[in-house]
A and B are shown apart, each in its own frame.
Chain A
Amino acid sequence: MARYGVAVAFGAPSGADGQPSLAGTGEQAAVSLAPVPASDDLALHLDGSRPSPAAVVTKGLTLGFGKRTVLEDVDVSIPRGRITALIGPTGSGKSTFLRTLNRMNDRVAGFTRRGDVELDGESIFGSHVDLVTLRRRTGMLFQRPNPFPMSIADNVLAGVRAHRIAKKAAWPAIVEARLREVRLWDAVSERLGDSPFRLSGGQQQLLCLARALAVGPDVLLLDEPTSALDPLSVEAIEALLRELVPALTLIVVTHNLAQARRISDQTMFFFEGRLVEFAPTDRLFEEPAQPETARYVTGRIG
């Protein structure tokens, strides 16, 4: 079974699968991030024996910019600890949907929203909701790698510092643990002080993943995370993403149908501002219930 470095971040060492592998990677066990107390649901799920409850629930979610409606009336429950792929042609509203889940659209001029999004049963738009906390719980990986203009080590620590998650003494261990987790450690351990912009695109994206994981998110939002990368990097990142579940909930926008089939447990198909179909990935691709889905996944529209 894969290493559960991420489980450490949840402070949920009770997971039966988590224990032995933590012992295997001593550095990770030494880093006690434990920012968010693990919910019982999660602990049960790490056990692998219970069906996952929903991590993200949308209720009548309607999104738009100005007078234009981009996405209409979406009601879904996105299960915890799985990879959910969001597919659909350009302009179908899937990226807008994704960026609403961590409220990145709030800043966009003219953005309008009706309906609600619940994260772990709580509205993310409530008046008491702190954006900083919300975004700590929902990490994001972008279409192109976006390292910060600071050293490799500082990139990994950027969120850790901003949220004051760990003491200075623990930083080196965090850097190593996170870089090992994304398989970047061996490539960069000798040059942690160097600029990240000298890394390859794939390595930069892995660094961004390490940076996002370092703050211990529950949900990871990925906006076409491999579309700008070479095939080998794509393979490496896809393999990593598979290892992040079930400790994390992954929601991935992708234009690559083959990728959606390879990595996701279930798939949402968006078309012309509607959520057309949401089903287990195999079923959506092999026996789509809607005619639009069938036409899209067989390449006849899109």
Chain B
Amino acid sequence: MSSEARLQPAETGGQSGRRAEKGTGGRLVRLVTGSAAWLPLLALLFVVVSLVVEALPAIRVNGIHFLTGVAWSFGNAYGAVVKTHGVPHPQGASYGALPLIVGTLASSAIALLIAVPVSVLSALVLVERLPRSISSLVGLFLETLAGIPSVVFGLWGALTLGPVLAHHVYPALASVASAVPGLGYFGGYTGNGEGLATSGVVLAVMILPIVAATARDLFRQVPDLPKEGARALGMTEWEVATRVTLTWVRSGLIGASVLGLARALGETMAVAMVSGVELGAIPHNVYAAMSTVAATIVSQLDSAFTDSTGFAVKTLAEAGLLLAALTLLTNVVARVLVRRVASTALPVGRGV
């Protein structure tokens, strides 16, 4: 009864609102706002549909080999044009994107492994340790770092970071790793600084500001009361941070990492500049040249247009779909992960 009474004025208000909309002005507003609301959906639909239409012939020809094969060849541009399933393509054209999938996932994984601990720790220090003035100054740096165009990161990676890592860091890392059984992937020839490891490091620097800024905002939301309780219980500041503050925002931190991951997966320019663009082989060790799906699309587009059958471009469209699917998949996995962490309580006391 009371809810009815409360609803009454709102309903009459709604009716008078609808009456006002009958004028031409109201209709115009509805048209503009309505189309504005639908525009993003339409744009997404348009992009997906045109990608699928463009890629469909390539999907039919490449088949499952696109996901499992390792060769990447436009075929003989001067030879005869052959048809498979009615789709014309140069003789010998063969596209296997497995190395690109591996490269995309591996470089993003390296980036996350470096960037997440670093940014979470720095955010923790920013919020818990530093005075507000310094904290906001560092925040400004973070935002500046986030705003640097990726081509600049690519240049820096190719000209400065890559060579430095290749001369001073990778050899030491490789010699340590070769002494440890099971770390064979981190040993061996360390290359010239263009490859998987350098791509991962550059990506780490690029996603660091996103993850750190998000983590910082999360830590600011942790209430004081449980932290005080932890201190009153005799926990050290480190224990307060790791056992209370960090666990308080755990699901949010996964979300922040997913933000970083999404950027790393799709990052194109910088990776194209530091990866070494090796399309036809899965990187044999962590320093080897490789490529990612995104970097391949941008680095191969020019030569793809020289394929008179248009098959190379269609294949790149298929690669675009693959990238979208990869990103979607990781997002879904991350969402499931967040939900699980947020809703179920944690394993009872590791031992109880």
**A residues in contact (CB < 8 Å) with B:** 102, 104, 107, 131-136, 139-140, 142, 144, 146-154, 157-159, 162-163, 168, 171-172, 175, 192-195, 208, 211-212, 215, 221
Contacts and interface: CB of A to CB of B under 8 A. Distances in A.
Question: At the interface, is chain A mostly helix, strand, loop or mixed?
Answer: helix
Interface of B: 225-226, 228-236, 239, 243-244, 247-248, 250, 345-349, 351-352
Given A148-B244, A149-B226, A135 B234 contact: yes
Given A139-B233, A212-B233, 12 more contacts: A102-B232, A104-B231, A136-B233, A140-B233, A142-B228, A148-B230, A148-B247, A150-B349, A151-B346, A151-B347, A158-B243, A159-B233
A157 B352 contact: yes
Contacts of A107: 231
B76 to A, nearest CB: 62
A158 B345 contact: no
Contacts of A146: 225-226, 228-229
A150 B226 contact: no
Contacts of A153: 348-349, 352
Contacts of A147: 226
A152 B247 CA distance: 14
Contacts of B228: 104, 142, 146
Contacts of B348: 151, 153-154, 192-193
A133 B236 CA distance: 11
Nearest to B236: A132
Given A148-B243, A148-B244, A195 B345 contact: yes
Nearest to B244: A148
A135 B233 CA distance: 6
B225 A194 contact: no
Nearest to B249: A149
A72 B236 CA distance: 30
- Max chain A CB contacts within 10 Å: which of B228, B234, B247, B347? B234
B234 A136 contact: yes
Contacts of A104: 228, 231-232
Contacts of B351: 168, 171
Contact of B233 (A150, A158, A171): A158
Nearest to B230: A148
Contacts of A102: 232
